[in-house]
Structure 1
Amino acid sequence: MNLKEKLITRKSGPAKTARMVETIVGCKWSLTVYQLLEDEINRPGEMVKSVEGLTTKVLNQCLKRNIEFGILEKISYPEIPPRVEYKVTNFGQKFMRILRDLESLQLEIDN
């Protein structure tokens, strides 16, 4: 082997994933929304009523970002009045597992 074959190129972090984590963790409501969904509170009106300080506008922004990243899915039912629910995607389940691992790591650091 020559010297060029032994050189390792600089590794950089996954840009899209880093942006996603930064955006989601940077939003103070995303983790709360995930907890609501785990508690089977999946309709926007229920979410706003369940969390003090959460407004419809902020919730909609948070839900939209999570949908764009593929973490959540919006389900619209053709009913009158219209009914909308949110659920965690398969990708979202994996992502939330990573967030739980980060939370566990933080607890270890804190103790």
Structure 2
Amino acid sequence: MKTKENLFSKKSAPNKSARMVEAIYGCKWSLTVYQLLANGINRPGAMVSHVEGLTTKVLNVCLKRNVEFGILEKITFNELPPRVEYKVTDFGQKFLRILDELEKLQQEIDTDFSSLN
């Protein structure tokens, strides 16, 4: 009996990047934080004061996760009182472009779906 040679191996989702996207979209504040940073608001206290409903505790968890992923960089200044700022890393810029593309895809899906109704 002849057997076919397998031409393709099983394709799997990229583990780390897929988890990263899931974690970022799972955090309801990450996208808001990116928007704040894009508008020059990079200090945690200013972030909390600019967004209704955002608490310091939740923001700190969100920022910590983004730093762990390498999307954001925490900059600590050796000053009194202490000052901390966040900025998007080079890797973070690439990651945010992917999120932008996902948003465009969702807009296309929404447009296509609404045209069917």
TM-score bracket, normalised by the shorter chain, equals over 0.9
Structure 1 residue 9: Cα displacement: 0.9
Partners of 2:76 and 2:47 lie apart in 1 by 16
Give 1:7 deviation, angstroms: 2.7
2:58 counterpart residue number: 58
Structure 1: how far apart are the matches of 2:108 and 2:4?
Answer: 42
Distance 1:7 1:37 in 2: 46
What code does the residue aligned with 1:109 have?
Answer: I
Corresponding letter in the other structure for 2:14: P
Match of 1:73 in 2: 73
Structure 2: which 5+ residue stretches go unaligned? Answer: 112-117
| TM-score, normalisation: structure 2 | 0.90
Larger radius of gyration: 2
Runs of 4+ residues deviating >3 angstroms? none
SS of equivalent to 2:53:
coil
CA shift, 1:3, in A, is: 4.9
- Name the amino acid aligned to 1:61: V
Matches within 5 A, 1:2-17: 3-4=4-5, 6-17=6-17
Deviation at 1:50, TM superposition (A): 0.3
Aligned to 2:20: 20
Task: Calculate the TM-score normalised by the size of structure 1.
Answer: 0.95
- RMSD over equivalenced CA pairs, Å: 1.1
Task: Give per-residue Cα distances to partners, 1:31-62, cap 9 Å, x unaligned.
Answer: 00000000000000000000000000000000
Provide the C-alpha distance between the structure 2 equivalents of 1:66 and 1:12, rounded to a whole number of angstroms: 24
**Residue of structure 2 equivalent to 1:40:** 40
The residue identity in structure 1 corresponding to 2:104 is: S
* d(CA) in 2 for partners of 1:3, 1:110: 42
Shift of 1:8: 1.4
SS at match of 1:10: coil
Aligned residue in 2 for 1:105: 105
